[in-house]
Amino acid sequence: MPSVDKKLPKLGESTIAEVVAALTAEEKVSLLIGTGMDFPGLPPKLQAPVVGSTQKGRVPGAAGSTCAVPRLGIPSIVMADGPAGVRISPTRKDSAESFFCTAFPIATLLASSWDIELVKNVGRAMGHEAKEYGVDILLAPALNIHRIPLGGRNFEYYSEDPLVSGKIAAAMTNGVQSQGVGTSVKHLVANNHEWNRNVINVKVDQRALREIYLKGFEIVIKESNPWTVMTSYNKVNGVYTSESYELLSTILREQWGFSGFVVTDWLAGRDPVAQLKAGNDLLMPGSIYQQEVLLEAIKSGELDESICDRDIENILGIILKCQAFQGYQYSNRPDLIANAEICRSSASQGMVLLRNSDKALPVKENTRFGLFGTASYAMITGGTGSGDVNKAYTVSLATGLRAAGFTCSDALESCYQEFIATEKSRNPVSTDAFMPRVALPEYIISEEQLFDTTLQTDVAVITIGRHSGEFVDRQAVGGFYLTDEEKNLIRKVSTAYRKQSKKVLVILNIGGAVETASWCDQVDAILIAWQPGQEAGHAVADILRGKVNPSGKLATTFASRLEDYPSFGNFPGVTLVARNEEEKSAAVGDKAAEIEYNDGIAVGYRAINAEHKTESATVFFPFGFGLSYTVFNYSNLQLSNNEFESDLTVSVDITNTGDVAGREIVQLYLSAPSHDRVKPVAELKGFNKTGLLKPQQSQTLSFTIGLADLSSFDPVQSLWVVEKGCYVIKIGASSMDIRLEANFNKVAASQLSV
Ligand code: BGC
């Protein structure tokens, strides 16, 4: 705790109001903006503000910090990214030690586990690392909707569905915050792709906004009480989210009961005064421009000091909970060994088995592998940008399989390693985590070498890798679609191995959906390993050898073609010619941009499933889909009532009828009557995962359906409405594999206030 003058109020001893009353205008402004960012090439007005007192640099490489006001006992707090682990510098000028953090699996993998306890545990582990490195607030979780598979930051986000996003984000928040470290739930709202993200105006109707884009945030606020919320860069319906009173004060605080502070995304928005007035309490990372504008606005009366006081009270309420205030003596020695284990086990729980013909997996003991694809030797642990993590190591697939007792062709590995080294020296990997990474090209294997490898090995594994990250969206080819090189590799390897009656497996080392329809028949098994964090190779090996029975399921549809996604027609949006100087300066260059979400609520499976039939599951993998090494039987669907009163309980028995132990994710979809408004054919309203069931073992899973689950948002009345009539509960192994159904009736229509 900083030493303070006894006569003055002190944070923690006096009331927050008394502390705020003792602040000068300069101090107030210093608390409302961060201490600045060291980023090469920042224009002068975005340079760090001039501050009297700060502990800037306490945690090198952290994204930002706030100003201290020692005379009133207000410490500086530190914020660090991000969703896949703590991002700080691994080295420090003044120390010979290292400060690595665990690169955990990406958010999309965690969501594919559909496992609340598992995600909470990963959150605890991240919170522990943040705490021991002196970080007060982790800038995570991120839960924007996967509206389009090309979204550059989809890897940081959970799902195309708001319920999965909200529940998993709440689990992450609860886990991190259990360690006394805050979270920043981001990016509120509609930052669904990167193209022109700083200026784009997202035009979205109120129903879609509430039911799809805001719903996950509403769940996480109500179920986990995050300390902070981060607004997004973009505008929604003409207003920057960080300048939207309706979003921040009306919806977030009044309607949802949020009680922490709201922080901008880094350098987001245009008008600091409008941001503070709207209820965006803290402007990060803080700049000299903001400092000057705010001081001037206070002086001129344009910014009422009571607005500043309100925002500072929100900030101080959270600072009181931070370890910087509590005086926690962090060790700089988190338990990285224990966290590597959590990384490995959570990674294998979120991997998704898409195909497994003739029980290609698990493989036999002593299998000799031929590993193809550059990513087999250079697995991609996560995405780039602020979601990147400075980790100590990456376990490659080759290392993971060898550690599990298998052999991998050394001759093939030597060729790949040589090729990778040459490629890396030709195109050095940027040391700047924020820069997009260029994928390694594929090594073109000769017929002869392929033939030899086929003879010397039993099974081929082809790893297809994908980079993505902040600032850019993925390309169609090389992003969603495989490149010709990759397709040729699969075709050649498949032909050679199948000639010898040997199996071919594909590992998808990806951060977002890829096309599988055109090539999946050429291979025997497909495992989505996602970007699984630093223990990548071990986690994949655990599944290939059957130590872990895969139990992940897709939280995002893998369609056959980009055109199948309803958002495709209006992505990424259009650029507009600026009409005046203000628009010019607000835009990148002189272009503003706009996108119309005219797919409304028809996002992901809500629309795609209606277009496809179950039989097409071999060429497209629906939301909720994932195979296991065992099979499960669904029986005894029970509803607590046939008539809906307040809550309804649903239960179902799940039995493992196969011959190995496994876990099953069970999904509850609801088909609602649609007399007054169009409803999707079915919407996910609950999910649950069994424990590890032995063969013949059963477990009863329960779900609760509340009135809110029956409702739709009515933009005219601005409230949630529930139609009367017959509702159908559908219990499924995926959104297109419904196993049991039951009806209930809602006698009268009703309404729910927001
Ligand atoms: C990202 C945020 C991140 C922030 C701080 C921004 O570029 O959009 O997600 O938390 O940087 O690093």
CATH number at residue 734: 2.60.40.10
Instruction: Give the pLDDT band of residue 248 (cuts 50, 70, 90).
Output: very high
| Residue to mutate (ligand 1; options 266, 434, 471; most atoms within 8 A of CB) | 266
How far apart CA 533 and CA 514 sit, in angstroms, is 19
Query: Residue 409: which of 534, 491, 487, 497 has the closest Cα?
Result: 497
Instruction: Give the pLDDT band of residue 612 (cuts 50, 70, 90).
Output: low
Give the position, in ligand 1's atom list, of the atom nearest the Cα of 187. Answer: 9
Same domain, 445 and 474: yes
Tell me which residue has its CA closest to atom 4 in ligand 1.
266
Same domain, 611 and 643: no
Nearest 10 degrees: Cα torsion 336, 339, 344, 347: -130
Q: Is the CB of 720 under 6 A from ligand 1?
A: no
Residues in the chain: 754
| Residue to mutate (ligand 1; options 139, 155, 185; most atoms within 8 A of CB) | 139
Q: Is the CB of 265 under 6 A from ligand 1?
A: yes
DSSP state of 375: G
Tell me which residue has its CA closest to atom 5 in ligand 1.
63
Same domain, 422 and 525: yes
Q: What is the pLDDT of residues 401-446, one digit of tens each?
A: 999 999 999 999 999 999 999 998 888 776 666 666 778 889 999 9
Q: Is the CB of 524 under 6 A from ligand 1?
A: no
Q: Is the CB of 344 under 6 A from ligand 1?
A: no
Tell me which residue has its CA closest to atom 8 in ligand 1.
265
Q: Is the CB of 361 under 6 A from ligand 1?
A: no
Indicate which residue of 265, 281, 524, 709 is catalytic: 265
Give the position, in ligand 1's atom list, of the atom nearest the Cα of 434. Answer: 7
| Residue to mutate (ligand 1; options 135, 265, 432; most atoms within 8 A of CB) | 265
Residue 282 exposed, middle or buried by CB count within 10 Å (0-12, 13-18, 19+):
buried
Q: Which of 532, 553, 574 is the last residue of a domain?
A: 553
Q: How close is the Cα of 361 to the center of ligand 1, in Å?
A: 40
The pLDDT of residue 54 is above 60: no
CA distances in angstroms from 305 to 30, 301, 315, listed in the order given: 14, 8, 15
Residue 39: per-residue pLDDT: 76
Q: How close is the Cα of 386 to the center of ligand 1, in Å?
A: 5
Same domain, 408 and 531: yes
The pLDDT of residue 284 is above 80: yes
Residue 616: per-residue pLDDT: 46
Residue 513 exposed, middle or buried by CB count within 10 Å (0-12, 13-18, 19+):
buried
Same domain, 691 and 651: yes
Q: How close is the Cα of 388 to the center of ligand 1, in Å?
A: 11
Domain with residue 407: its CATH number is 3.40.50.1700
Instruction: Give the pLDDT band of residue 228 (cuts 50, 70, 90).
Output: very high
Segment 513-525 mean pLDDT: 96
Q: Is the CB of 87 under 6 A from ligand 1?
A: no
Q: How close is the Cα of 34 to the center of ligand 1, in Å?
A: 14
Residue 418 lies in a domain: yes
Tell me which residue has its CA closest to atom 9 in ligand 1.
386
Residue 532 lies in a domain: yes
Residue 568 lies in a domain: yes
Residue 614: per-residue pLDDT: 45
Close Cβ partners of 188 (under 8 Å, ≥ 6 residues apart) = 217, 229, 230, 231, 232, 241, 247, 252, 262
Residue 433: per-residue pLDDT: 61
Range(s) of the domain holding residue 728: 632-752
Give the position, in ligand 1's atom list, of the atom nearest the Cα of 186. Answer: 9
Same domain, 368 and 425: yes
Q: How close is the Cα of 152 to the center of ligand 1, in Å?
A: 13
Answer left, alpha or beta for residue 20, where phi above 0 means left and psi between -120 and 50 means alpha. alpha
Residue 79 lies in a domain: no
Q: Is the CB of 63 under 6 A from ligand 1?
A: yes
How far apart CA 77 and CA 322 sit, in angstroms, is 7
More confident residue, 704 or 570: 704
653 is a catalytic site residue: no
Q: How close is the Cα of 385 to the center of ligand 1, in Å?
A: 8
Q: Is the CB of 185 under 6 A from ligand 1?
A: no
Q: What is the pLDDT of residues 56-112, one digit of tens each?
A: 679 999 999 999 999 999 999 999 999 999 999 999 998 999 999 999 999 999 999
Tell me which residue has its CA closest to atom 7 in ligand 1.
266
Cα Rg for the chain, rounded, in angstroms? 26
Segment 21-29 mean pLDDT: 97
Give the position, in ligand 1's atom list, of the atom nearest the Cα of 81. Answer: 10
Same domain, 516 and 570: no
Residue 583: per-residue pLDDT: 67
Residue 588: per-residue pLDDT: 53
Q: What is the pLDDT of residues 162-188, one digit of tens each?
A: 999 999 999 999 999 999 999 999 999
Same domain, 517 and 368: yes
Give the position, in ligand 1's atom list, of the atom nearest the Cα of 79. Answer: 5
Same domain, 412 and 535: yes
Q: Is the CB of 386 under 6 A from ligand 1?
A: yes
Residue 446 lies in a domain: yes
Q: How close is the Cα of 434 to the center of ligand 1, in Å?
A: 10
Q: Which of 529, 553, 577 is the last residue of a domain?
A: 553
Q: How close is the Cα of 265 to the center of ligand 1, in Å?
A: 6
Give the position, in ligand 1's atom list, of the atom nearest the Cα of 233. Answer: 8
Q: Is the CB of 450 under 6 A from ligand 1?
A: no
How far apart CA 57 and CA 199 sit, in angstroms, is 30
Q: How close is the Cα of 632 to the center of ligand 1, in Å?
A: 42
Residue 618: per-residue pLDDT: 44
Q: How close is the Cα of 119 to the center of ligand 1, in Å?
A: 22
Tell me which residue has its CA closest to atom 6 in ligand 1.
266
Q: What is the mean pLDDT of the chain?
A: 94
Close Cβ partners of 45 (under 8 Å, ≥ 6 residues apart) = 287, 288, 289
Residue 739: per-residue pLDDT: 98
Overall domain count for the chain: 3
Percentage of residues in the chain having pLDDT higher than 90: 86
Q: Is the CB of 82 under 6 A from ligand 1?
A: yes
Give the position, in ligand 1's atom list, of the atom nearest the Cα of 156. Answer: 9
Same domain, 640 and 728: yes
CA distances in angstroms from 170 to 114, 343, 367, 391, 741, listed in the order given: 12, 19, 41, 25, 29
| Residue to mutate (ligand 1; options 46, 386, 390, 472; most atoms within 8 A of CB) | 386
The pLDDT of residue 548 is above 70: yes
Q: How close is the Cα of 72 to the center of ligand 1, in Å?
A: 30
Tell me which residue has its CA closest to atom 11 in ligand 1.
266
The pLDDT of residue 118 is above 90: yes
Segment 106-123 mean pLDDT: 98
Confidence (pTM): 0.96
Q: How close is the Cα of 192 to the center of ligand 1, in Å?
A: 14
How far apart CA 730 and CA 703 sit, in angstroms, is 12
The pLDDT of residue 615 is above 70: no
Q: Is the CB of 186 under 6 A from ligand 1?
A: yes
Q: What is the pLDDT of residues 289-331, one digit of tens each?
A: 999 999 999 999 999 999 999 999 999 999 999 999 999 999 9
Residue 589 lies in a domain: yes
Q: Is the CB of 79 under 6 A from ligand 1?
A: no
Same domain, 723 and 587: no
Residue 256 lies in a domain: no
516 neighbors 621 (Cβ within 8 angstroms) = yes
Give the position, in ligand 1's atom list, of the atom nearest the Cα of 386. Answer: 12
Q: How close is the Cα of 194 to the center of ligand 1, in Å?
A: 12
Q: Which of 576, 599, 621 is the last residue of a domain?
A: 621
Number of H-type helices and E-type strands within the chain: 21, 27
Q: Is the CB of 139 under 6 A from ligand 1?
A: yes
138 neighbors 86 (Cβ within 8 angstroms) = yes
How far apart CA 259 and CA 282 sit, in angstroms, is 14
Q: Is the CB of 81 under 6 A from ligand 1?
A: yes
433 neighbors 476 (Cβ within 8 angstroms) = no
Same domain, 669 and 703: yes
Q: What is the pLDDT of residues 260-281, one digit of tens each?
A: 999 999 999 889 999 999 999 9
Give the position, in ligand 1's atom list, of the atom nearest the Cα of 191. Answer: 8
Residue 657 lies in a domain: yes
Query: Residue 606: which of 113, 144, 164 has the closest Cα?
Result: 164
Q: What is the pLDDT of residues 670-700, one digit of tens each?
A: 999 988 889 999 999 999 999 999 999 999 9
Give the position, in ligand 1's atom list, of the atom nearest the Cα of 387. Answer: 9
